[in-house]
A and B are shown apart, each in its own frame.
Chain A
Amino acid sequence: MDPSGRWNLHVRDEERLLAEAAEYRGESLWQDAWRRLKRDRTAFWSMIFLAVFVALSLFAPLLPLPSPIALDLKAEPQPPVWTELGNRGFDYTFETDDDYKLAYWDLYWHDKRLVDVRKAVFGDWQTGRWFGTDSKGRDLLSRIVWGSRTSIWVAFAATLCSLVIGVTYGAFSGLIGGRVDNLMMRIVDVLYSIPFIFVVIFILTFLSEPRQDLETESLVDKGWVFFIVIGAIYWLTMARVVRGQVLSLKNSEFIEAARAVGASTARILFVHVVPNVLSVVIVYLTLTIPAIMLFEAFLSFLGLGIEPPKVSWGLLAVDGTDAINPIRTFWWLVVFPAGAMGSTLLALNFLGDGLRDALDPKLRGKH
C-alpha cells in the first residue's frame, strides 16, 4: 500500500477487477430459492398444477358446469359419458336473489356476479356427464369443482389461523426467553400430549346440535368454531419451530454483524429475521394444508364437517364410500373425488419437499 492509502495497483488491473466484480450479481434468498425450485421439476410442476386448480376453484361460477345441487331422482347413479360434450340443460334464470338458491346455495355477492357472466356467455349450455352423477343424480364434475372451493378455503383459513397463533406465540416466547419462555414451552408440551382430536369432536358434536336454541343462546357460528378449533390444534408445531428459529437467530453472527454495521432494529427485523423465519414457515404451511384437508375429510366422515347443500371433497369422498355395495360398484363415485383430493395433496407434499430443499440455507448456491 502506498502512503496515499490506495492499493498499489495498475490502473488496468483495477479496471479489470471492477469489471469482474460487476459480473457477479448478489442473489437474494428468494431469487436463489426460486431458481432452485425451478430446477426441481416435480416441485415446479406441482406448483403449476396447484395454481391451475386454485384458479379453477376460484372461478368455478364462471365455468359452464351443471348445477351442483339439482336433484334428478333416478334410481341409480349414472356412469360417466364421454361422447356428449354438452347440452342445453342449464335453464335457470337469475333475477331475484332467491333464484341463485335453486341452482346453487346462498352465494356471496361476487359469486352471483360471476354466475351472471357465465349465464351471459354460455347461456343454457352446460357440460355433459363427464364424471357421471351421484346417487341423487347430481353432476359429479360440478360437485368436485364446487367442493374444491370449500376444501381449499377451509384449508387456507384454518392454516392462516394456526399460522397467526403459532408465529405470535413462538416468536414472543423465543424473543423474551428465560423463565417466561420456559413456562410457555411447557404449556405447549402439555397441550401436545392431549389427543386433541377427541376434544375437538367432543366440542363439535355439542355445537352442531340441530336445535334452534343453540344459535340464539351460545352466539357461536359453527364455521368459526371450525377454524378456531383446527387452528388451535395445528399451531403447536408452528410455535415450536418458530421459537427455535428465533432463538438461533437472536444470537447468530450475522445479526450481530448487522447491528455492528449500524442497521436499525426495523431493518434487522424485516431484512434479516423475517426472511429466515419465513422460509421455515412457508415449508411448514405446505405441510399443514394437506393435514387440514385430511382433517376436514375426517370430520365429514363423522358427519361433523360442512353441512349440505354445500359440498366439500371430504363430503364427496364419504358419499363415494357410502355407495359401495357388493352388487354394483359405482367406481366413479370413489375414483374421481379421491383422485382430485389425492392429486392435490400429492402436489402439496411434493411442493413442500421442493421448497424445503430450495429454502435450505445449507444448500444455498448449490446446483
Chain B
Amino acid sequence: MLGFLLRRLGWFVITSWVVITVSFFLMRKVPGGPFSGERNLTPEIEANINAKYHLDWPTWKQYLHYLGPLNLDERGLFGDRSKPFGGVLTGDLGPSYKMRDFTVNDVIAQSLPISVMLGLVALMWALALGISAGLVSALRPRTGLDLTMRLAATAGIALPNFVIAAFLIILFVFLIPLFPVAGWGTLKHMLLPGFALGAPRAAYIARLTRTGMLEVLSQDYIRTAVAKGLPNRLVLMRHALKGGLLPVVSYLGPMTAWILTGSLVIEKIFRIPGTGSHFVNAALNRDYTLAMGVTILFTVLVYGMNTLVDLAYTFLDPRIKLEES
C-alpha cells in the first residue's frame, strides 16, 4: 500500500514536470509575448514591463525561476513589500499577466469552488441517470425498454455538449421558463449546466453498467444466491451491484478529466465564473501564467483522482492487488 502510493508519487512528479516543461518551452518558442499585442507601447515601457515580469531574462533562467524555489529574484512583484514569487514547486503559480493585481492563486481560489460544485452536480446527474438506465437495461435485456435506453445513451454520446446545452436552453428556459438562463449562486442555476455537462457521461456509464451487470448476473454466486431463496431485490443490492459497478468506478478517473474539459464549454455558455472559463480567456489573451497554472492544477486533479480510483478498486474487489503500475 505504502509502496504503491510512493511509486504513484514518483510518477506524479515526472508527469507534472513533463507538463510544466513542455508547456513552458512551447509557450516561449512562439513569437510575441503577452504584452506585445496591446496598443503600440513605446520601447521603454515595453522594456520596463518585460523587466518587471523577467521576460528579458534568458529562457533557461525564466524556467528555473518559474519552477522555483531558487529565489532568483529578491523583490516582490507588487511593490517592494509584497511577497516575492516563490515558484511552482512551492505552490505559487505566479502573477496573472492580464488580470492586474491578481495572482494565479487568487484567481483559482475564487473560481475553483464554483467549478468543483458544477462538476459535482454533473457527476451526480451522470451517475444517477447512467446507473439507473444501465440497471434497467441489464435487468430486462433485449426488450423494447433496453433498446430505448441504449438508443438514448448512444444519442447522448453523439452530440457535442454545447448542442445539448442549446437544446436545454431553448426547452427549459425559453419555452418552459423553469430555470434562469445564466449566472451562478443557487441550486436552480446549477441543475441545467450540470445536466448538460453530465448527460454525455451518463451515456457511457449506462453502457458500462449494462455490460458489467450482465456479466455479473450470469455468475455462479448469483445463481447460488437466487437458489437459496433470497429475494431478487436483495440479490441485486447485496451481491450483484458490488461487482457490476466496478467498471463504473474505474471510469470515474477518466470522467474527472472529461468533466473538467467539458466545463470549458459549459461555463462559457452559461456564463459561469469558474476555472474553465478563466482558462479559456487566459489562453485566448495569452495570459501565460494563468493558463499554465490551470493546466498544472487540472493535471494534479486528474492524477489524484486516478490514484483514488485505483485505491478504491482494491476495497471493492479483493482479488485485485496493488502490485504493478
Residues of A within 8 A of B (CB): 186, 189-191, 193-195, 197-199, 201-203, 205-207, 209, 211, 213-214, 217-218, 290, 294, 297-298, 301-303, 314, 317-318, 320-321, 324, 326, 329, 331, 334, 338, 341-343, 345-346, 349-350
> Per a CB cutoff under 8 Å, which of B26, B173, B260, B268 touches A195?
B260
A194-B18, A321-B269 are known contacts. Are A206 and B160 too (CB-CB below 8 A)?
A: no
> Per a CB cutoff under 8 Å, which of B26, B29, B163, B269 touches A338?
B163
Residues of chain B contacted by A298 (CB below 8 angstroms): 160, 261, 265
* Cβ of B158 under 8 Å from chain A: yes
8 A-B pairs in the complex with CB atoms less than 8 angstroms apart: A190-B14, A195-B295, A197-B261, A301-B160, A317-B163, A326-B181, A334-B170, A345-B158
* Cβ of B2 under 8 Å from chain A: no
Residues of chain A contacted by B283 (CB below 8 angstroms): 201-202, 205
- Contact residues, B148-186 vs A (CB, 8 A): 154-155, 157-160, 162-163, 165-167, 169-170, 173-174, 181
Q: Which 10 A-B pairs have the closest CB atoms?
A: A345-B158, A321-B166, A297-B160, A206-B30, A205-B283, A198-B295, A346-B158, A195-B298, A338-B163, A193-B303
CA distance A350 to B157 in the complex (A): 11
B284 touches A324 (CB 8 A): no
Residues of chain B contacted by A198 (CB below 8 angstroms): 261, 279, 294-295, 298
The distance from the CB of A339 to the nearest CB of chain B, in whole angstroms, is 10
- Contact residues, B285-321 vs A (CB, 8 A): 286, 291-292, 294-295, 298-299, 302-303, 306
Residues of chain B contacted by A350 (CB below 8 angstroms): 154
* Cβ of B187 under 8 Å from chain A: no
CA distance A134 to B167 in the complex (A): 18
Residues of chain A contacted by B292 (CB below 8 angstroms): 202
B19 touches A199 (CB 8 A): yes
> Per a CB cutoff under 8 Å, which of B18, B160, B294 touches A190?
B18
A193-B303, A202-B291, A342-B158 are known contacts. Are A321 and B165 too (CB-CB below 8 A)?
A: yes
The distance from the CB of A189 to the nearest CB of chain B, in whole angstroms, is 7
CA distance A303 to B283 in the complex (A): 11
**Could you mark each residue 1-36 of chain B with 1 if its beta carbon is under 8 Å from any beta carbon of chain A, else 0?**
000000000010011001100110011011110000
Residues of chain A contacted by B252 (CB below 8 angstroms): none
CA distance A206 to B260 in the complex (A): 21
Count CB-based A-B contacts (< 8 Å): 137
B165 touches A342 (CB 8 A): no
A290 touches B18 (CB 8 A): no
The distance from the CB of B40 to the nearest CB of chain A, in whole angstroms, is 13
B30 touches A318 (CB 8 A): no
* Cβ of B120 under 8 Å from chain A: no
- Contact residues, B125-168 vs A (CB, 8 A): 154-155, 157-160, 162-163, 165-167
CA distance A349 to B306 in the complex (A): 27
Residues of chain B contacted by A321 (CB below 8 angstroms): 162-163, 165-166, 269
A198-B294, A334-B163 are known contacts. Are A345 and B157 too (CB-CB below 8 A)?
A: yes
Residues of chain B contacted by A189 (CB below 8 angstroms): 11, 325
* Cβ of B222 under 8 Å from chain A: no
Name which residue of chain B comes closest to A190, CB basis.
Answer: B15
> Per a CB cutoff under 8 Å, which of A193, A206, A346 touches B286?
A206
Name which residue of chain B comes closest to A294, CB basis.
Answer: B160
Residues of chain B contacted by A341 (CB below 8 angstroms): 158-160, 163
CA distance A198 to B263 in the complex (A): 12
> Per a CB cutoff under 8 Å, which of A186, A193, A207, A324 touches B169?
A324
CA distance A202 to B282 in the complex (A): 9
* Cβ of B249 under 8 Å from chain A: no
A199-B19, A206-B27, A334-B166 are known contacts. Are A326 and B174 too (CB-CB below 8 A)?
A: yes
Residues of chain B contacted by A317 (CB below 8 angstroms): 160, 162-163
B32 touches A209 (CB 8 A): yes
CA distance A239 to B173 in the complex (A): 45
Residues of chain A contacted by B181 (CB below 8 angstroms): 326
* Cβ of B124 under 8 Å from chain A: no
CA distance A326 to B177 in the complex (A): 10
Residues of chain B contacted by A213 (CB below 8 angstroms): 31-32
The distance from the CB of A217 to the nearest CB of chain B, in whole angstroms, is 5
A290-B157, A338-B159, A346-B155 are known contacts. Are A218 and B325 too (CB-CB below 8 A)?
A: no
A349 touches B158 (CB 8 A): yes
Residues of chain B contacted by A195 (CB below 8 angstroms): 257, 260-261, 295, 298-299, 302
* Cβ of B264 under 8 Å from chain A: yes
B26 touches A202 (CB 8 A): yes
* Cβ of B241 under 8 Å from chain A: no
CA distance A326 to B154 in the complex (A): 30
* Cβ of B88 under 8 Å from chain A: no
* Cβ of B280 under 8 Å from chain A: yes
